[in-house]
Amino acid sequence: MTNALWFLLVGGLLLTRGFTSSLLRRLPVTPAIIYLTVGLLVGPTVFNVFHFNPLKDSALLRALTEVAVLISLFSAGIKMPVPASFARWRTPILLASVSMAVSVGMVAAFAYYLLGLPLGAGVLLGAILAPTDPVLATDVQIRHPGDRDQLRFTLTCEAGMNDGSAFPFVMLGMGLLGLHDLGDFGLRWALVDVLWATVAGITIGVISGAALGRLGWKLRSESPEHKLMDDFLGLGLIGVVYGLSVLVNAWGFLAVFFAAVALRQTERKLAGARQDFPDRPQTDRRILEAPNASPDKEPPSTVSGGSLIFKEHLERLSELMLVLLIGGTLFLDSWSWRAVGLALFLFMVARPVSVLASLLGTRTSWPIRGMVGWFGVRGIGSLYYLMYAIQHGLPEDLALDLIQLTLIAVSLSILVHGTSVKPLMSRFWRHRKHLPTP
């Protein structure tokens, strides 16, 4: 496909998406399904006017997915309810740790015993497919900073953390393949890749986010005429936090998510708010910034509130581009029983079992456990981890195999979760009055 045709395709999709926004909200499918369908039509599956080779262009795809995940994680962190508490965060923490480990183990066993992959490749595949996606799962995540729904909070918070908590398992799989130093008896992996990288990432994020929140608030309070560019500050925070994390071998995804959480928590604390935003969708920027403000009183601006809308627009654009590329990579023979079987095992067995195992002993209601167990959307984060492994020396034969397995799992996730999200969420919301508020 020439550059001109590529611009026509993407531009046409953007125009169509812009004009049909209200119509798409009424359709029983998500926009990602439409993007995937277009990709399949123009790609090798149907008309073959466009083909994207993820192995050849792994560096490009890694950069694109990296940026998309970072923006999505920042947006998710900003929407976290205030104030943060362990009681509220306990369930997502269990999902991002215990459920993550169980899911990786189950997928690794399936890949090793049934797909014939080496143990290291099985662990790597499990780590690639274990994290839920913050980019494609917007329909089941927190819609705005005042959304206090327990299900949406749980899925959003889990997605924000498990894109970082999957990294130690990625490094474990690469180590078993001889691509990473695990140390004697895995000691280096445990101390550096698990303990140091996790704690350092969270610490960098919390300190950086809180510092920006206090600095922005101080500048606005002392000099009301001093204008700040919130979009630039938000993007700058992402870049600084992620870059610093990479320099000290910390998990940057965790750092960016917790930087956004700390930024919002700090700004709300400085504003003296004692209540979170109302539990209803908001589109008015003034209400997003200060929900108790009267129409004739302008509330104080915040970096988190001012940058949120811009980040969500970038998130939608990255979703369109990357899902289109996914469709443009697949051939008809990519849909093998081997790949489809793995995806079905992941959706129907590994995800539900890992969720139930991690939430044993908690007070999480069974309807929420069931919904969380089903909506483990896979997507852009999985592609990033796969491209990361390829860029760090994954053998070509294994890379081609994992590319096919991963892309089919992501594509089927877009299809099955995208078609079930609206009816299931509607049914869930009809019964939500019987569920406790987090």
- pLDDT, tens digit (0-9, with 9 covering 90-100), for 236-271: 999 999 999 999 999 999 999 999 999 999 988 888
What would the mean pLDDT of 128-135 be, rounded to a whole number?
86
User: Mean pLDDT, to the nearest integer, of 58-62?
Assistant: 95
388, two tokens: 């990361």
What pLDDT is attached to residue 433?
A: 55
Q: What percent of the chain clears pLDDT 70, i.e. is strictly above it?
A: 88
Question: Do 131 and 166 meet the contact criterion of CB atoms below 8 Å apart?
Answer: yes
Q: For 65-85, how does the pLDDT look when each residue is reduced to its tens digit (9 = 90+)?
A: 999 999 999 988 988 887 888
Sequence-distant (6+) residues with CB within 8 A of 307 are 78, 230, 231, 233, 234, 235
Residue 435 pLDDT > 70: no
More confident residue, 65 or 298: 65
pLDDT score recorded for residue 438: 46
Q: What is the mean pLDDT of residues 323-352?
A: 95
Phi (first) and psi of residue 379, to 5 degrees: -170, -120
pLDDT of 404 > 70? The answer is yes
Q: pLDDT value at position 258?
A: 96
Bond from prior residue into 28 cis (ω within 30 degrees of 0): no
Return the percentage of the chain with pLDDT > 90, whole number.
58
Choose the weakest-confidence range: 310-319, 387-396, 398-407: 310-319
b/e map 41-53, b = 16+ CB within 10 Å? ebbbbeeeebebe
The DSSP letter of residue 343 is H
Confidence at residue 146, expressed as pLDDT on a 0 to 100 scale:
65
What token pair was written down for 325? 């590329």
What would the pLDDT profile of 117-127 be if each residue is shown by its tens digit? 999 999 999 99
pLDDT of residue 168 exceeding 80? yes
How confident is the model over 110-135, as a mean pLDDT? 94
Whether the pLDDT of residue 232 is over 70: the answer is: yes
Interval 212-236 mean pLDDT? 84
Q: Mean pLDDT lowest for which of 10-19, 115-124, 196-205, 300-309?
A: 300-309
Top-confidence residue, 60 or 280: 60
pLDDT at 432: 62
pLDDT at res. 290: 39
pLDDT-based confidence at 282, cuts 50/70/90? very low
pLDDT at 25: 80
Higher pLDDT, 285 or 365: 365
206-233 mean pLDDT? 86
Q: How far is CA 81 from CA 1, 39, 71, 283, 303, in A?
A: 45, 36, 19, 17, 16
Top pLDDT among 362 and 304 is at 362
Q: What is the pLDDT of residue 280?
A: 39
Q: Are 76 and 141 in contact (CB under 8 A)?
A: yes
- Cα distance between residue 373 and residue 354, in whole Å: 8
pLDDT band at 289 (very low <50, low <70, confident <90, very high): very low
Q: What mean pLDDT comes out for the span 169-188?
A: 96
pLDDT at 425: 81
Q: Which residue has the higher pLDDT, 138 or 358?
A: 358
Residue 427 has pLDDT above 60, yes or no: yes
pLDDT above 60: residue 365: yes
Average pLDDT, the chain: 87
- Kind and range of the H or E run holding 357: helix 351-358
Res. 135: pLDDT tops 60:
yes
More confident residue, 74 or 284: 74
> What distance, in Å, lies between the first and last C-alpha atoms of the chain?
50
pLDDT for res 253? 96
